[in-house]
């Protein structure tokens, strides 16, 4: 018996297949983006450059909420609603913790069984990576591939570890906070900064015994949102309830998003925000590449290990050590 080696497609073959909507090769393209092999980086950049002219037609939605809030069920329902309208939906994730837990979030498509079988849906778990920066960059690049493959709505999920909401917020058009109605003060324990970022808040599990609590929570969030200054776009964030389990309130939520997008397109803020995001992305890319070209330099690597030891032992000051390291780089 003979095993055939899987043929490695060229960047051109990948690009053409992605444009044609081939899910398997879209996944291969994203794997290329996520690869840590230096040789793959150039290929990944080529692929992205090929895809870039095809982007900017989708709506990008960020979704955050703590574990247990029902994100998977909600995303499955929302995804099905979107494909039901004849649109293609892609689900991506930014979860820096998945590098430890090996992709518990979105790791298995069984979490979204129905959606994963839908020909118009594409689900991809969070890239694994040591840093939020790396994970976020890879997701942002994967968005481009998905858009080039014709996905019209991109859902980007995060569990909100560390600064991951900020990262997701910086790459989406609409940012949704998913909440549960709790026993008491709904605002307690809410991460600072999240309220300011949210374009909409959705209280899930508004069903059965929980319905009244959810309605109270909605009123409380509505009051709290009034305390924040209006968004630059003029949009006033809205609060809505749903039962993802019973498939209730999903259409209303989609209506909120459509209203937001229409508003922002009219005011020109949709394009302004994307332009700002692009500029920030550019500056972040410059920072990252500058650092990586520095720290991957063989002389720097060698010197760095020695200097860290010396600094730790108080044999040299942090400044002097920095001077030495930078001058060893400049000489080469």
Binding site for a copy of itself (CB under 8 A): 45, 48-49, 52, 56, 185, 187-188, 191-192, 275-276, 278-279, 281-283, 285-287, 289-291, 293-294, 307-308, 311-314, 317-323, 325-326
The residue among 130 and 252 lying less far from a copy of itself, judged by its C-beta, is 130
Give me the least distance between CB of 110 and a copy of itself, in Å please: 32
Complex with a copy of itself: residue 55 or 245, whichever CB lies closer: 55
For a copy of itself, the closer of residues 121 and 181 by Cβ is: 181
- The region that residue 132 occupies, defined by phi over 0 for left and psi between -120 and 50 for alpha, beta otherwise, is alpha
How far is residue 330's CA from residue 30's CA, in Å, rounded to a whole number? 35
Min dist. Cβ of residue 102 to a copy of itself (A): 23
Judged by beta carbon, residue 84 or residue 265, the one nearer a copy of itself is 265
CA 294, 297, 299, 305: dihedral to nearest 10 degrees? 70
Q: Return the beta strands (E) in the chain as ranges.
A: 59-64, 89-93, 121-123, 153-158, 174-180, 200-204, 238-241
- In whole angstroms, how close is the CB of 81 to a copy of itself at the nearest point? 30
| Residue 163 CB, nearest approach to a copy of itself (Å) | 10
* Of residues 207, 216, 223, the one with CA closest to residue 183: 216
For the bound state, the minimum distance from the C-beta of residue 2 to a copy of itself, rounded and expressed in Å, comes to 40
Nearer to a copy of itself among residue 34 and residue 76 (C-beta): 34
* Phi, psi angle pair for 240, to nearest 5°: -140, 160
In 3D, which of 225, 213, 223, 208 has the Cα closest to residue 181? 213
User: Minimum distance from CB of 248 to a copy of itself (Å)?
Assistant: 31
Q: What are the φ and ψ backbone dihedral angles of 177, each rounded to 5 degrees?
A: -105, 120
Cβ at position 325, least distance to a copy of itself in Å: 6
- Beta bridge partners of residue 123, listed in sequence order: 91
Distance of alpha carbon 97 from alpha carbon 130, whole angstroms: 9
How far apart (Å, rounded) are the C-alpha atoms in residues 257 and 172? 12
| For a copy of itself, the closer CB: 212 or 289 | 289
Q: Which is nearer to a copy of itself, 48 or 156 (CB)?
A: 48
């Amino acid at each position: 018996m003979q095993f055939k080696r899987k043929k490695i497609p060229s960047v051109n073959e990948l690009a053409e297949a992605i444009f044609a909507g081939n899910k398997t090769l879209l996944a291969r393209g994203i794997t290329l983006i996520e690869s840590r092999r230096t040789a793959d980086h150039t290929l990944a950049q080529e692929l992205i450059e090929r895809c870039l002219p095809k982007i900017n037609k989708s709506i990008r939605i960020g979704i955050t909420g703590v574990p247990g809030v029902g994100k998977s069920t909600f995303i499955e329902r929302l995804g099905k609603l979107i494909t039901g309208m004849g649109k293609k939906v892609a689900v991506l994730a930014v979860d820096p913790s998945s590098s430890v837990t090996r992709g518990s979030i979105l790791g298995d498509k069984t979490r979204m069984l129905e959606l994963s079988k839908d020909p118009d849906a594409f689900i991809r778990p969070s890239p694994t990576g040591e840093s939020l920066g790396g994970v976020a960059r890879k997701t942002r690049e994967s968005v481009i591939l998905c858009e080039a493959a014709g996905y019209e709505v991109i859902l980007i999920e995060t569990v909100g570890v560390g600064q991951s909401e900020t990262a997701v917020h910086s790459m989406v058009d609409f940012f949704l906070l998913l909440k549960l109605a709790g026993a008491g003060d709904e605002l307690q324990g809410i991460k600072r900064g999240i309220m300011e970022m949210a374009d909409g808040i959705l209280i899930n599990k508004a069903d059965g015994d929980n319905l009244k609590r959810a309605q109270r929570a909605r009123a409380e969030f509505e009051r709290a949102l009034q305390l924040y200054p209006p968004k630059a776009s003029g949009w006033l964030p809205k609060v809505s309830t749903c039962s993802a389990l019973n498939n209730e309130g999903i259409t209303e939520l989609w209506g909120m998003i459509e209203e937001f997008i229409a508003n922002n397109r009219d005011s020109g803020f949709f394009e302004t925000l994307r332009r700002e995001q692009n500029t920030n992305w550019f500056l972040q890319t410059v920072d990252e590449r500058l650092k990586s070209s520095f720290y991957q330099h063989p002389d720097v690597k060698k010197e760095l290990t020695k200097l860290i030891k010396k600094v730790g032992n108080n044999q040299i000051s942090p400044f002097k050590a920095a001077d030495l390291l930078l001058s060893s780089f400049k000489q080469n």
